[in-house]
Chains A and B, each alone.
Chain A
Amino acid sequence: MNDFSAKFEEKDATVVLVDDEDMVLASLRSFLELETDYAVRAFTDSGEALAYAREGQVDLVMSDFLMPGMNGIELLAEFGRHQPQAPRVLLTGYADKDSAIKAINEVGLFQYIEKPWDNTNLLVVVRNALERRFLVKALQDKIAEIDRAEGKLSGLQNDILKTFI
């Protein structure tokens, strides 16, 4: 599924990572930065992540589930309000799997990834989510372009009607 004409540029994709554990965040971040050209924004504090969500570019957000204060599902739900176009991925320990499954429908999760995660699998999930996000964007752009072209078409038609009939 990687041979599509609307394929996105990795460097155009911003991935937001949220985990209260520095170690986890750092390893996720360096892994993504090593393997891809995504722009990675990492936050240990959910408040700061949400502040970023209000203003910055977000093409995908991945959050840990167990965090002090707001948990990952609540955070991703809130993220969705600010960045509805960005797919959301949850990182969960095995014990929290049921919560993750519940969140799939309630929050509209793209996928959950169990800890300890498999790097290749994580990369595939992130890649698929981003591809979906950019496919949808390309689709919206095309629809807008069609609207504009249709507008020009009917404008031309009106000109012809006014001038000649």
Chain B
Amino acid sequence: MPPARLTAPVIMLVDDEPMVTRALASFLALETDYQVEEFSSGAAALERITTGPIDLVVTDFLMPEMNGLEFLTEVKRLDPEIPRLLLTGYADKENAIRAINEVGLFQYLEKPLDNDQFLLALNNALAHKGVRSALHAKIHELDRVLQQRDELSARDEEMQREMDWARTVQAKFLPEEIPTVAPFSLAVVYEPSMAVGGDYYGFVPLSGGRWAVLVADGAGHGVQGALGTALMKFATAGLQGGDFGPGEILARMNGVLYQGLPRGIPVAAGVAVLEPDTGRIRLAGAGLPNPLLVAADGAVHAQPAAGLLLGLVDDRMYTAGTETVVELRPDERLLLFSDGLTEAQDDADVFYGEGPLQKDMPHLTGSTPAEMVRSLADRALAFGLPAYKDDLTLVGISKTE
């Protein structure tokens, strides 16, 4: 069966006897919807081939001037994809056999022609051509797809190299060790995502033996995230030894980030200032999820610390109404975290969310801060992998008597 076509195949009939082409054309007009064109010489037919597509050529062998074999040789040279059929008298059979090898004849048909055999051979030749041209198209398409794949794969590698670079940069700006701030103990889990999410954490020694614990989450991924981290490190550099509370720390960071960041690229941050003298923890926040206090019975209490994101407006105050003071009991834990924890997504893009997080907490009563943050991080990662998109930073704090 010839493949479905939009236009009827064009059949070329060549014979020096018009009676023959006439008869074949009438038969085809009756039996098919093919467009038939008749020619009485090879020369005229060749002229026609150069002007537009032909789907099949049927020619007589014995013709004056140019015989069928010579004609088909030229047809093949002009367009090898046109199937070629040869009509022969019984006496010319040797020539037909020669033609099979020399001009790649599709088939020869002996005269007198059997109409059904003729139509079968014609249809088979057209089907042959159809499959070949479909194959050509597919080979071409495959080349294109393979090329696209190679290009995309090269781009992917390049982006991965950039990511690796960004990850290395980001890691350089993170603290190498966790300070000892008795009577508090601290634990950190930091899981940079494949995408380098721009999380930052740090510890800044303040006046009076106090320490600021910082968690920040810059907008943007990759190189942007890495540069954001570097800028955060810079923003905290001037705070060392200062007599600042958490709100003031955020206000100062906001000033630096507002100057240093392109507009519209905010940073979420949270600060816990540990006061060894009083045993208190002072909290302030700028867009980071509220810190959680995990009570001895596993109940979870969010600690309000919700200020405006850093870097959006100049001269922002973070003190009045935003600072929270926590007096941690020995069997309680405080948790600071970036939204990488609550926004861990599964394959269906469902967020891990704070609900399940709070449900997970009671299982962690009695655990050390290190056990708590590790366990929570593992749950989020298990939930979110392999679509894990964001950095994950968790800081757990406890206090001995």
Contact = CB atoms under 8 A, between A and B. Distances in A.
Interface string B317-354: 00000000000000000000000000000000000000
Given A145-B142, A156-B153, A6 B159 contact: no
A121 B124 CA distance: 14
Nearest to B106: A1
A156 B116 contact: no
Interface in A136-165: 136, 138-139, 142-143, 145-146, 149-150, 152-153, 156-157, 159-160, 162-165
A163 B195 contact: yes
| Highest count of chain B CB atoms <10 Å: which of A1, A128, A150, A152 | A1
Interface in B146-194: 146, 148-149, 152-153, 155-156, 159-160, 163, 194
A35 B141 CA distance: 37
Contact of A132 (B116, B121, B128, B146): B128
A135 B142 contact: no
A122 to B, nearest CB: 11
Contacts of A128: 106-107, 124, 128
A57 interface: no
A43 interface: no
A135 B106 CA distance: 15
B296 interface: no
B194 A163 contact: yes
Contacts of B221: 164-165
Contacts of A132: 124, 127-128, 131
B108 interface: yes
Classify the interface of chain A: helix, strand, loop or mixed. Answer: helix
A115 B195 CA distance: 74
Interface residues of A, number: 41
B142 A149 contact: yes
Interface of A: 1-4, 6, 97, 101, 104, 108, 110-112, 118, 120-121, 124-125, 128-129, 131-132, 135-136, 138-139, 142-143, 145-146, 149-150, 152-153, 156-157, 159-160, 162-165
> Which are the 6 A-B pairs with shortest beta-carbon distances?
A142-B138, A149-B145, A135-B131, A2-B104, A139-B135, A156-B152
Interface of B: 1, 80, 83-84, 93, 96-97, 100, 104-108, 110, 116-117, 120-121, 124, 127-128, 131-132, 134-135, 138-139, 141-142, 145-146, 148-149, 152-153, 155-156, 159-160, 163, 194-195, 221-222, 386-387, 389
Given A104-B116, A135-B135, A164-B221, 14 more contacts: A111-B120, A112-B117, A112-B120, A120-B100, A124-B108, A128-B107, A128-B124, A129-B124, A135-B131, A149-B146, A156-B149, A157-B152, A163-B194, A164-B222
